[in-house]
Structure formats: structure tokens, C-alpha cells
Structure 1
Amino acid sequence: MQGLGASLPVLLLLLLLLSAQLPPPAVGDQPPRALGAERSLDPSSRLAVGAARVALHKYNFQAASPSGLRALGQVRKATVKSIPGMGQKYYLQFTTEDYRSRENAGSCLATVLYPKKKSPPAVNIKCINTKDQKQIQEEDNRLYQKLKRQTKPIIGSNIPDIFGNMEPAFEPVWALAVAGSSYMMWEKSTEKVGYFMSQVKSVKQWMRKDDSLEFDYTILLHEMPTQEMILCHMRLIWLPGRHLKVKYTCESDSHRLEDGSGMESGSAAGITHEREENF
């Protein structure tokens, strides 16, 4: 014990010398955030709103329902977490609106992971519907029967026009374009760049002998925040209650072809003269 007592003054002296060499803490310094810690975001921030829109793009594509399309209402809560080796993951609560009527369509919970590698955002989303699902299915079936009874292929351009007007006859093919382009917008989105479908530049229906409906579209996407307008070509096949089959290529993608046949992986092939067997 005597040896320990004798060493205490030496230890105290060393501690005093070390503390004298340390700089005083700067005013306003905050303790470092733990790696992978979740932090709150302003729900109205561009990052939170952008992530919620990405989640809805995935929802609209997977729902494959022109009558059940949703638009973003308001983000209620948003947090983000940096996951080592993977990327930024957003946790979101938000309300939605019916895409056409802008009436309340229910709320959603979603996670959006923007991967570090060049691949589409990983989205998980669950929504509560204010609109009866049976009613949505009935509306889809009425829309399908209306299009299927066409004796001549639907051909149109500039939907809506520069004044925002749309002929009622083109509303069904416009709604299908929104559902199909949601695949493009989900896949192309990043943490810093998002998309809106601005206009259907042209549409042509292919008359089929089976039950499916098929359309060729030229779509104009509005890229945010760059404000660039991107021209994309899309072929879409739809049958109520089934996955949408979508293939597209955009001018900014050096003519890459992406496959959205209810799957999450792309494939390379030609688009202009392809038929369904190549999906």
C-alpha cells in the first residue's frame, strides 16, 4: 500500500500536464452522432417529400390500377438513417390524394433506401385506403371494357394540351400512362433527383387478339430540381388484376432499355417492333 500511496502524486501530476495540453472545447461543439443513428427531418424538406414521392411511384406501378392512382398529400413525419455499406434509408408517414379528384385517398407508411450502388431505390410501402377496393376494381373493369370495345386503335398526341385540357376519350390512356411511367420514375429517382410525368406526347394502341390492352407511348418527364424535360418511349400491356408489363427507353439513358414486367430487374433488347413474347 505504501508503494501505491507514493505513486498517487505522480499520477496526479501526469493528469494535470495532459489536461494543460488539451485545447478548450469550442463554443457550440456537439458530440459526434453515432454511426447509423436515426435523425429527424423536416417533413416539408425536399429530401423527405422526394422520398415520399418515390414510394408512391412504386405503389402506383405495383397497384397497376388506373382508377386507384395516388398523389402525395402531406408528409407527416420523416426520419433518415445512414446504413453503413448500403446507403441512406428514409422512414416516412404521409397522406395521399386521389390522382384525379384530389380527394383524400388514405395514409401510408413507407421506407425508401437509396443504395450507394447504381440501382433503383428499395421501397417498402403500406397504405390505408379510404376508397373501397371493390369499387376501384369495378372502375378498372369499366375502363377496361370501354377500351376493349374500341373497333379502331386509339391514337392521340399532347395529352393534356398546353392549356392543361384533356379530351374525356383520352383520360383512360392517360391514367394508364401515369401508372406505367411510375415504373420509370421510381427506377430513375435518386436521393437528389426526382420526376413528374408532364405529358403524353403521343400514344398509339395496338389491337390484340387476346384479352390484354397494349399501347405505345412517348412520355415527357419533368426532372427535379434540374427542370430538364426528358423524352421517354414506353410500351405498356395491361389486364385488370395483373401486373403491368412495361418496357421503356429514355433519350438521357443512351437508349438503354429497362423492363418493368412486374419485376425489379432490367433487361436489354429492342423496343420498337417487339411483341409480348419478348417480355
Structure 2
Amino acid sequence: MPGLRSSPPALLLLFLLAVPRGSRAGQALEPGSRSAAAAARVALQYRNCQAGSLGGLRALGQVRKATLKNIPESGHKYYLQFSTEDYRTGEDAGNCLATVLYPKKKSRPVVSIKCSHTKDQKEIQEEDNRFYQRIRHQSKPITANNIPDSYGNIEPALEPVWALAVAGSSSIMWEKSTETLGYFLAQVKSVRQWIRKDDFLEFDYTVLLHEMPTQEIISCHMRLTWLPGRPLKVKHFCASEGHGAEEGSGAESGSAAAPSAEKGASF
């Protein structure tokens, strides 16, 4: 789609309009600074979970420009320009402009993000459908542990399961992030697929998140449902959060074939 590929100038204009000017313009940050990279990563985590697309998953490339502004009564707001990579292949995936506000009150970061694309929407939809069909055509429900393994390897048959974990855990990492704490997906400790009567895919995951800079490993349970072209639905509970469950992007829908009493932790 040529229109998508011609969008960087428009994105740059939006960025120039968004960046504050004048005496209260804020502080220019080194693009390679930890705080700039962390804010850009939060913006991408938000985008990955909101997009709900396995073929469109992105990782951070390089931060090209970053500005920090202190907004009284609200918090610190980052204005960012950065490149991205395809999460699986590492190829260029386009540029993004984003703002990330870390509220003074204890709540999730507020993100606004706009990206250009090197793949058109049809390509992304085709990749999503290939992932979906690979899972649907398994001879039995998927169960697996330790993805990737201790050598960093992922079995080809489990690549769609890992991609779903990346998309789903992005919701958790975005919600938990603060200006001083960030998260990476370290490993899928366990995953179990539930057979449903509708077309949605449903999984229970236990994922391990690497908290930075504390180096702590946080264990989270995640219930995820997905159908290409529909929003990704995530509910999660992390071990460090006490006994209150947190809901991610959307509630569960549809009916599972297995009785609810057999479906592990309830939310």
C-alpha cells in the first residue's frame, strides 16, 4: 500500500507539532539514554498489545530523538522518535512517533503512538492467518514448557505460541511499567491450550518477566484469547501483586469446551 509507505513525512510533521516549544520546551535527552529507550519500549509494548497482530509485532530499533517535559499535576511526558524492527526477523519495520506520560498517580503509562509501515496490511493479515492455521491444525491441544529452552532455542512448531506470548505479555509489561521500572519477556514457563466451541484460540500461560533495573524475575499467569482481525483479550495475575487479579485489554468471550472447573486459575 503506497499510502502507508509514504507516511514518514506526515509522521515527522505530527512529531514537530507535538514537541513542546519555547521556554518550557523541556529537556532534550540523549537518544541512547536508558530513560529514552525505556519510554520507547513502553510505547511499543502498548502498540503490540493493542494491535493484537502476530505478523505485526515490533521490537525497538534505535531512538533517534527524545525530549522530556515535566507537566505540573500530571507527571513526566516523553516525546519520542524511533525506528522499529520486525520482532521475528529483525528486519526494518518502519519508524514511530510517540508520547509516553508517566502519571504522578500510580497508574499505567498513557501512550500515544503512530507508526509508518514497511509491510502492508494485507501481508500482516496473511501472516496472522498462517500463524492461526498452524495452531488450529495441531493434532491435539498444545502443551509446552520452557520457551525458549536453556539454549535460547524455540521449536518451529511453537513459534506461534511464543508470538502470542509476546503480544499478550506486552499488555502486562505496559501496565506494570513506571518511569524507573521496565520489563522484558524472559521465558514462557508453561503454556496450555483450551479447546473452544467457537473459532477463538485460548491459552493459559505462565510467563517470566525480567524487571529492569532490579534484575528481578516476575512470574505472571496469563489467560489469552485470540482470533485474527479481532482484539487480543488478556487477563493476568502476577505473583508480586498480592491477591488482586488485574485485567488486561478486554474480557474473555465465547465458551470453552472444557468445563470451567478444569480450566486452572480463575479470574
TM-score, normalised by the number of residues in structure 2: 0.85
Match of 2:53 in 1: 65
Count of matched residue pairs: 236
Q: Deviations over 1:40-69 (max 9, x none)?
A: 001111110000000000000011011111
Q: 2:105 aligns with which of 100, 117, 128?
A: 117
- Note the 1:34-183 alignment, pairs <5 A: 36-183=24-171
Match of 1:242 in 2: 230
Provide the aligned C-alpha RMSD in A. Answer: 1.8
Contact 2:99 2:112 in 1 (8 A): yes
CA distance in 2, matches of 1:188, 1:261: 13
Q: 1:195 aligns with which of 175, 183, 195?
A: 183
Measure how far apart 1:273 and its partner are.
4.6
Partner letter of residue 222 of structure 1?
H
CA distance in 2, matches of 1:121, 1:112: 6
Measure how far apart 1:232 and its partner are.
0.6
- Aligned identity (percent) is 68
**Alignment of 1:232 onto 2:220:** yes
Measure how far apart 1:106 and its partner are.
0.3
Measure how far apart 1:151 and its partner are.
3.5
Partner letter of residue 152 of structure 1?
K
Match of 1:205 in 2: 193
Partner letter of residue 195 of structure 2?
M
Runs of 4 or more, structure 1, over 6 Å off, are: none
Q: Secondary structure at the match of 1:240?
A: coil
Match of 1:11 in 2: none
Q: Deviations over 1:167-212 (max 9, x none)?
A: 1111001000000000000000000100000000000000011010
Measure how far apart 1:252 and its partner are.
0.8
Q: Secondary structure at the match of 2:130?
A: helix
Measure how far apart 1:131 and its partner are.
1.3
Q: Deviations over 1:215-257 (max 9, x none)?
A: 0000000000011111110000001111111001111111321
> Rg larger in 1 or in 2?
1
Contact 1:60 1:69 in 2 (8 A): yes
Q: Secondary structure at the match of 1:179?
A: helix
CA distance in 2, matches of 1:41, 1:99: 26
CA distance in 2, matches of 1:273, 1:257: 11
Contact 1:62 1:262 in 2 (8 A): no
Contact 2:48 2:58 in 1 (8 A): yes
Q: Secondary structure at the match of 1:137?
A: helix
Q: Deviations over 1:87-141 (max 9, x none)?
A: 0000000000011111100000000000000100000000001112210101101
Measure how far apart 1:272 and its partner are.
3.7
Q: Secondary structure at the match of 2:37?
A: helix
Measure how far apart 1:35 and its partner are.
8.5
Q: Deviations over 1:17-56 (max 9, x none)?
A: xxxxxxxxxxxxxxxxx99542200111111000000000
CA distance in 1, matches of 2:49, 2:142: 22
Structure 2: unaligned runs, 5 residues or longer: 1-21, 252-262
TM-score, normalised by the number of residues in structure 1: 0.81
